[in-house]
Amino acid sequence: MVKVEFSPTKNFALDEAPPQIGSFAIDEPTVNWYKCREQFANKFGKDCTGMFFSHERGHENSERVAYFMSMIEEVLGLKERSQYAKCTKNFAMWICPSPFWLDCEMKRSLYTILLRSGLEYDVGKNNFETALYSVNYSSDTKLAIMRFLFGFTKYTADPNTGYVKGWWSAFKDKTEDEIKKQLISPDSENKEECIVGVGTLWA
């Protein structure tokens, strides 16, 4: 099990009712919650220094998301990891995404999907794979997520459709060959091919 350390508790004032579970917000004078990932994408840019994410009441739910995301970043071998803090309101957590996720709109889109998947992670059961594909945005793009987690994290637009906005729109209904062309290694010129893996998602 990966180790997760939480930063000091994040304080914010909220007089209204808690948002829908799985909503996102940026730390602004007025905290505006976004249930729709596409609407939040307009706020979630490459210069983002942190974000709120809502879950069921209870700080243990912050922990399950943090553990899940830490496992994702462990698989990817990220040197600089996302950081987490519990909030004074126990229906939300604070997240500072790793720079890895911020440098590309497609990565940021996937990040919000993975956070939603993390809501289904059970630390005791360690149901990582079940949680990973527990939302339709991830289950509909399972092959693309698998390839991404194998290290093919650089997105290239489909020459037939051009650049599309959002992970789900880019990869739903795509064939394995199409996905292999759209997700490539960031250091593909130096990546060694493995004879055993030729023709697979991880080669």
Q: What is the pLDDT of residues 116-164, one digit of tens each?
A: 999 999 999 999 999 999 999 999 999 999 999 999 999 998 888 777 7
User: For the chain, what percent of residues have pLDDT higher than 70?
Assistant: 90
**Contact predicate 170/158, CB 8 Å:** yes
**Spatial distance between the Cα atoms of 170 and 17, rounded to a whole number of angstroms:** 34
Residue 190 has pLDDT above 90, yes or no: no
DSSP state of 58: S
For tokens 């194998």, the residue is 150
